[in-house]
A and B are shown apart, each in its own frame.
Chain A
Amino acid sequence: MPEKTFIEAIHDAMDEEMARDPSVVLLGEDVGLRGGVFRASTGLIEKYGERRVIDTPLAESSIAGVAIGMALNGLRPIAEMQFADFSFPAFNQIQSEAARFHYRSNGGWSVPLVVRMPYGGGPGVHGALYHSQSVEAFYAHIPGLKVVLPGTPYDAKGMLKAAIRDDDPVIFLEHKRAYRSVRGEVPDGDYTVPLGPAEVRREGRHVTIFAYGYMLHESLRAAEELAKSGVECTVVDVRSLKPLDVKTIAEAARLTGRVLVVHEDNRSFGAGAEIAAIVAEEALMYLDAPVRRLTGPDVPGIGFNHVFEVEFTPDAAKIARAARELAEF
């Protein structure tokens, strides 16, 4: 199986879906001639033309709103927010409109829309306060959306294809650090990965770590390190926050009774809080330690200086430390 980077997997998914289905279109800032600022859509405008690969005006609300209209009239748009940080002008279109169309029309209309958003930061990204935010908690709170955050190139391709074929609006979050640093096997040709089920990436009996996106890789590195000293971790790739795989989360928590949730997003009211609540509701009698969260702090984004990047961002060493403390509790 060929090895590809995360961004190549994203590119391939869009390329294959556009070839397969003429109703798939891509719109966003710089997605056409430039191929996207992260180069995710390189070559697509040449292949599919500027009617289907649309360089939009610099106005995010319009990207989302127009894409909704397209979806209402038979297209399957992929809207790219250049950075997740810039999705907020489009927030109203996503939350008041895309998420609610099906429900508010009692099933009369649906919005098959994918909003792709590069998100996150960390050491070496230098994204600062407005090019490094994690936005998943905002969107995962909204009924009617699906919110997924693949961690591997395999999932990136399979889940993006599933998202494009899904009849509901899907917020598809791509971690920028994963784009070129994460490589993995990606089959050529068609396959999908369902939006929802979590995946147990590693099994161990002492501590269960829940993570997604780039933090999956830091968690796996931490687990590798901990194994050398006899601490065995289960690592669960949550990869979909909406829907959330309550069953797998509960089972994985019961397995060890010690739970660590890792995310880069700000701490309060984040995915970690939801997962901790599920663990409390579904696995209390198996808990042998307080549920811990290791997250980005409650400050507005990752400062530009690399000292701030390191301080803000959970990494393998911090995860290993937290997991070890749990193991020793």
Chain B
Amino acid sequence: MDITVRMPQLGESVTEGTVSAWLKKPGDRVERYEPLLEVITDKVNAEVPSPESGVVKELLVAEGQTVPVGTPICVLEGEGAGAGAPAPPTAEAAQAGPAEAGTARAARPEAGPGAGAAGTEASARGRYSPAVRRLAREHGVDLALVRGTGAGGRVTREDVERFVREAAEAPAGRPVAAEAPAAQAPAATPAPAPALAAGQPAGPVAPPEPGPDDEVVPLTPIRRSIAQNMVLSTSTIPRAWSMVEADVTGLERLIRARGEEFRAREGVALTYLPFAVLAAVAGLRAVPRLNASWAGDRIIVHRRIHIGIAVATEAGLIVPVIRDADRLSIAGLARAIAELAEKARAGRLTLAEVQGGTFTVDNTGALGTELSVPIVVPGQTGIVTTERAKRKPVAVGDAIAIRTMMPLCLSMDHRVVDGADAGRFLGVMRARLESFDEATGLY
């Protein structure tokens, strides 16, 4: 069999060699280890021995010619079966056994082809890289709306850039927002996190052009955010609505009797809202399903209760969050509400204070309304309003009495809960509101 002799590497860092002389010519016999040719490199001049015994068949490189290391330079006609360059056995073996190779890879500390990337699958959702967050802030993008193409569905910088580009290029009426799966917005709130193009109508209707008598009001980030969330809610959440009336005569008396003292002691007014929150919390305890998020293929029920409270500000509606509202007393809730409302109006809320709500209570009655159909905050399942408390004649037993009545209106995500859940929640909330009287402890 034929044996190919190659230009050897003669010395560290040497990459080529020059054949200075052939010591054998075709037809000559050569013994293994007998000098076959002379090679000059820029490091050495050396006699190169034959790798095997045999007869020189062909010289492939002429004297004086320079070739890279590894180039075939000569063919020998070998003798016997053992001829030919010995295969490097360990090398092949090490790479052949798949099991062994697999173990080796696993053990290699730096191996994790993306040791970093591998771990992202589960946690990618809702976590954004600094670059993505910066871009979102600069362009007013609500990241919940951006489809992620990165590892584990992660939103990448390119995804945000594409979103911005497409939004800018989108023909009027194209629902950019529809790109966002609702499931990717757990616990999103209409917070001052701005959202791009959110105000665009979800239908194929061209936005109106301003006429000579119109005033154009540029969108503030907060207005955009509200618009976007409302669109998202109404376009993705099948809403159901229920209403009950609660008799808050006792509560009214309680506030009237002890309001002054409370304000003097706590520095904040005693209003219906902390009682409404306390009552809503009781309802959520009874119906945990209302304290949940729709997540596409499953429902995530939250153990902790964080109540969003709607606050009207000059800039628009803001919903700061009372974290762990179920752990607070009336006084604690009153203080928390007063503090958040003041921060909201002063524009000093932190991101943490407007994120993570699991249910919303809106004291619309403070604005004088008697009936509302609230919109569920995307990522939550329910929102309850407390309407204006009004003295009116009601049947008490067989008699007619004048009582102070307050309507409670609940909107809910019908994917998560049904009418029975709503009824039960409202029943518990009403009972709790009706239980308050002048003897109720505030602490």
Contact = CB atoms under 8 A, between A and B. Distances in A.
B109 A328 contact: no
B116 interface: yes
Interface in B77-103: 88, 90-91, 94-95
Given A127-B12, A329-B120, A257 B131 contact: yes
A325 B15 contact: no
A118 B12 CA distance: 11
Interface string A94-134: 00000000000000000000000010000011110001000
**Range class of the B interface residue count:** 20 to 34
A306 interface: yes
A180 B114 contact: no
A38 B94 CA distance: 33
Contact of A289 (B88, B110, B129): B129
Interface in A265-292: 267, 284-290, 292
B324 interface: no
B42 interface: yes
A39 interface: yes
B15 A181 contact: yes
A27 interface: no
Contact of B130 (A127, A285, A295): A285
Interface in B118-134: 120, 129-134
Interface in A284-329: 284-290, 292-295, 297-298, 305-307, 321-322, 325-326, 328-329
- Could you say which of A39, A180, A286, A294 has the most chain B C-beta atoms within 10 Å of its C-beta? A180
Contact of B110 (A176, A181, A297, A326): A297
Contacts of A306: 88, 91
B13 A329 contact: no
Given A257-B157, A267-B110, A328-B151, A285 B134 contact: yes
A325 B114 contact: yes
B113 interface: yes
A148 B15 CA distance: 24
Nearest to A296: B110
Nearest to B88: A306
A310 to B, nearest CB: 9
A287 B12 contact: no
B43 A329 contact: no
A256 to B, nearest CB: 9
A37 interface: yes
A273 B136 CA distance: 29
Interface in B35-52: 42-43
A177 interface: yes
Nearest to A38: B13
Contacts of B117: 289-290, 325-326, 328-329
Given A38-B43, A124-B9, A286 B134 contact: yes
A305 B108 contact: no
- 6 smallest CB-CB distances across A and B, nearest first, come from A288-B157, A290-B116, A288-B131, A325-B114, A180-B15, A179-B13
Interface of B: 9, 12-16, 42-43, 69, 88, 90-91, 94-95, 108-110, 113-114, 116-117, 120, 129-134, 150-151, 154, 156-157
